[in-house]
Amino acid sequence: MSTGSRVSTTSPRLRRSALPYLLLLPALLLELLIHLLPMVMGILMSFRRLTQFFIRDWSRAPWTGWANYELVLDVDRPVGEALLRSFLTTCLFTLLSVGLCWLLGTAAAVFMQESFRGRGLLRALFLVPYALPVYAAVITWAFMFQRDNGLVNHVLHDQLGLGGPEHTFWLLGDNSFWALLTVSVWKGWPFAFLIVTAALQNIPGELYEAAALDGAGIWQQIRRITLPSVGAVNQVLVLVLFLWTFNDFNTPFVLFGKSAPAAADLISLHIYQSSFVTWNFGAGSAMSVLLLLFLLLVTAGYLLVTSRGRRSRHV
């Protein structure tokens, strides 16, 4: 019985200390299963010559060391050259898309702070692109961008008379970049709007009243109150938008199919296409690992800079 009493005295303490870990365990296991395991498998695949001959059991694929990395990083050969071009295209695209999404979202959120008739309806309309299924929305854009029967050319050329009578190709050649950017911004800015709106609602109204009494104009209020108050939210927002846009696969895939024009060949689609064009899944995995490393580096750098900025402001 004495044993029983000893257990009853130590076990609540033990239980208390073990409980958090026990509660975390399912999440940890799921994380391991969903993220870490495939990641490790992807890294292992990148060191193998994995083709259709070994797709049923990839562990039998011959080990090739760094050969896949040498192949995809050799910019003098077609595979490396195309990867570099796709990477640079994606960087420019991400920069423009995130910038425009943030700008539009913030401007709309500030504008919607003022109370006016129909504000609720307008806010709901703003959020429509965010609520629509991606596939349905992007396929609609694909129809609209069609050269001969699309709405975009109908409005631009036939109704507004811009660019002459000859219809423009939006889904082929260099213009495809702008078509893709349009869809990406259309799809992404409502998220920025939603997040900035939520952040703005946390700013006490008294701050603006006090500023107004002190004679601050609207621009000064935005610069001195609004933007600093939503700074922390903005940092997360920009990071999330960056990661989503850089990795976006659905938009170019639905818009262009499995082979996008060179001008709109975003890196996710490029990796998919490279893997499936050559069925060289080893090289595709190497590209994915490099992409992952790049995103990790950028994210870590960004977090370092922004947290330092926050710390220095607090000091």
Partner 1 sequence: MRRTRAAAAAVTASLLAAAVTACGGGTADSGAGSNAAPKELTYWASNQGPDLAADQAVLGPELKKFEERTGIKVKLEVVPWSDLLNRILAATASGQGPDVLNIGNTWSSSLQATGALLPWNAENFAAIGGKDRFVESAIGSAGAAGQDPAAVPLYSMAYALYYNKKMFQEAGVAKPPATWDEMVTTGRLLSKDGKWALGAEGGNLSNNIHQVFVLAKQHGADFFDAAGRPTFDSPGAVDAVKQYVDLMAKDEIIAPGNAEYAQNQSLQDFANGKTAMVLWQSAASTFKSHGMKEGDWGVAPVPVPAGGAPGAGRGTNSMVAGINLAVFKNTDNIAGSLKFVQFMTSDEEQRILNKTYGSVPPVKAAQSDAAFATEDLTVLRTTLGTSAAPLPQVPQESQFETAVGTAVKELFADAAAGRPVTTESVKAKLGKAQQQMAS
Distance set, CA 66 to CA 47, 62, 77, 129 (Å): 6, 12, 16, 43
Rounded CA separation 209/77 (Å): 63
Radius of gyration of the chain (CA): 26
Q: Which of residues 86-105 bind partner 1 (CB under 8 A)?
A: none
Q: How far is the CB of 134 from partner 1 (least distance, A)?
A: 17
Rounded CA separation 190/126 (Å): 6
Counting every residue written for the chain, the total comes to: 315
- Considering only residues 14, 35, 39, 53, which one is a binding residue for partner 1 as defined by CB under 8 A? 53
Segment near partner 1 (CB under 8 A), from 166-174, 205-213, 233-241, 298-306?
166-174
- Considering only residues 40, 52, 228, 297, which one is a binding residue for partner 1 as defined by CB under 8 A? 52
From residue 257 to residue 276, what is the string marking binding to partner 1 with x (rule CB under 8 A)? Answer: xxx-xx----------x--x
Q: Per rule CB under 8 A, is residue 180 in the interface with partner 1?
A: no
Those residues whose C-beta lies under 8 Å from the C-beta of residue 55, and which sit 6 or more positions away, are 279, 281
Rounded CA separation 253/140 (Å): 13
Q: Which of residues 285-314 bind partner 1 (CB under 8 A)?
A: none
Q: Per rule CB under 8 A, is residue 71 in the interface with partner 1?
A: yes
Q: Which two tokens stand for residue 205?
A: 């109204």
- Considering only residues 221, 247, 250, 278, which one is a binding residue for partner 1 as defined by CB under 8 A? 278
Q: Per rule CB under 8 A, is residue 66 in the interface with partner 1?
A: no
From residue 143 to residue 162, what is the string marking binding to partner 1 with x (rule CB under 8 A)? Answer: ---xxx--------------
Distance of CA 154 to the CA centre of its chain: 31
Q: How far is the CB of 127 from partner 1 (least distance, A)?
A: 31
Q: Are 90 and 246 in contact (CB under 8 A)?
A: yes
Q: Are 124 and 194 in contact (CB under 8 A)?
A: no
Rounded to the nearest 10 degrees, how much is the dihedral formed by the CA atoms of 212, 218, 220, 222? 110
Size of the site for partner 1 (CB under 8 A): 40
Q: Per rule CB under 8 A, is residue 20 in the interface with partner 1?
A: no
Site residues (vs partner 1, CB under 8 A): 15, 22, 25-26, 29-30, 32-33, 37, 52-53, 55-59, 71, 77-79, 146-148, 167, 169, 171-173, 257-259, 261-262, 273, 276-280, 283
